[in-house]
Chains A and B, each alone.
Chain A
C-alpha cells in the first residue's frame, strides 16, 4: 500500500529527503494541471508549481500531520501564488494568452492527446469533421474557462478538473461550503452559455 502524504511528510520532517521527492512525483502532474488551467499558461504553471513545492519544502517543519490535508494545503499555497501572478499580470497589463496547448512538445499530455486524435489512423470511427469539431470545442472550452472571473474559475477548476470535494475546495479557498457550491454552479452556467453554439452543433 502506498504511503499516505502525511506519512511522507513525517519522514521528510525527520530529514528523509527521498520522502519529499516521492511527494513531488505524486503531486506534480495534478498541481501543474491545476495551475495551467487556472492561469491559462503552461510555462508559468511549471514555474509556479516549482515555487509551490519550494514553499512546502520551507514550511515542512511547521506542518502538522493530521491537522490539515496535505492536498488542500498544497492547493492553498498554489492558489495564493497564482492569484499573485494574475495580479502582477494585471498591473503589467499583460493579456491572457492560452498556451496550455503547445503542439508537438514532448511531455505535454494535452498536446499529445490532441495530436493522437489528429493523427488517428483511418477507421470506421475516424471522422475528420468530428475530430476537428472536438478540437475546436476543447479550444473554446479552454478559452471559456480562462475568461471566467477568477472567483468562479478557481473553484470550477478544482471541482471539475481536479476532482476535489466541495469540503476540500472550501478549505483551499477558505470560504463556506455554501459559497463554494453556489460559485461552482454559477461558473458552470456561465460556461454552458459560452459553449452553447459549439455544443448545439455536436
Chain B
C-alpha cells in the first residue's frame, strides 16, 4: 500500500469499517510512513473540529413567519366519515381490547343459542316444574314470590322465568329465537 492508497482508508479505519486484509496492510504502511501518521492524526482532529462547530439556531420569529406562510396554503381535507372515526382516537391496544371483548361476547351468545337449539328443554325450567332445592320446597312464601316474576308475553306459554338471572337471560334468548317457527313464517 502506498500513501495515496492509505489515505483512501482513513475514514474506514477511523470508523472501524475496514476489512481485516486491508487493515493489516494499512497499519503496516502507517507504522512505516511518518507523513501518513501525521496526516492521519490531522484527519481525525479535523473531523473532531467539524463536529464541534457551534449549531446555527432558528431566529425567534421563525415559527411565527412559517405559520403566516402556511396560512395561505390549502388545508388537508379529511372526509366527514374519517373525521368521525379519527375523532374517536384511542391507543392501538384499546382497539384490540374492544375487539377481543366483542369477539368473546359474540362467541358466547352464538354458542349458547346453538346449545339450546339442540336441546331446548335442558335448561328451561317451567312454572309447573320449577327446579327447587329441597329446602326451598318447604317455604311456600318464597315459591309464591317467584311465580310473581315478570309477565310472560302472549305466545310464550310453556316457558317461564326462573329466579336465577343467568337462566333468565338464556330463556329470553331461546324464546325469541323460537318466535319465527311458532309464528309459522
Contact = CB atoms under 8 A, between A and B. Distances in A.
Contacts of B12: 181, 185
B56 A100 contact: yes
Given A15-B76, A185-B10, A109 B57 contact: yes
B117 to A, nearest CB: 45
Given A32-B56, A33-B56, A57 B42 contact: no
Contact of B70 (A32, A54, A108, A141): A54
Interface string B74-116: 0111100011001000000000000000000000000000000
B10 A189 contact: yes
A181 B73 CA distance: 39
Given A50-B62, A107-B59, A12 B76 contact: yes
Interface in A91-131: 100, 105-114
B50 interface: yes
Nearest to A100: B56
A172 interface: no
B157 interface: no
Contacts of B77: 15
User: Does more than half of chain B's interface fall in helix, strand or loop, or is it mixed?
Assistant: helix
Contacts of B58: 28-29, 32, 46, 49, 107
B66 A33 contact: no
Contact of B65 (A50, A141, A156, A188): A50
B56 to A, nearest CB: 4
A75 interface: no
Name the prevailing secondary structure of the A interface residues.
Answer: helix
Give chain B's interface residue range (CB within 8 Å of chain A): 35 or more
Given A49-B58, A161-B51, A192-B39, A14 B46 contact: no
Contacts, number: 128
Contacts of A17: 75
A103 to B, nearest CB: 12
A42 B58 CA distance: 9
22 contacts: A12-B76, A21-B63, A25-B63, A28-B62, A33-B57, A37-B56, A45-B56, A46-B59, A49-B62, A50-B66, A107-B60, A109-B57, A138-B49, A141-B49, A141-B50, A156-B50, A160-B50, A161-B51, A181-B11, A188-B43, A199-B45, A199-B49
Given A29-B55, A50-B62, A199-B46, 18 more contacts: A15-B77, A15-B78, A17-B75, A29-B58, A32-B62, A37-B56, A46-B58, A46-B62, A107-B58, A107-B59, A108-B57, A111-B54, A112-B57, A114-B54, A184-B11, A185-B10, A188-B47, A196-B42
Interface of A: 12-15, 17, 21, 24-25, 28-29, 32-33, 36-37, 42, 45-46, 49-50, 53-54, 57-58, 60-61, 100, 105-114, 137-138, 141-142, 145, 156, 160-161, 181-182, 184-185, 188-189, 191-192, 195-196, 199-200
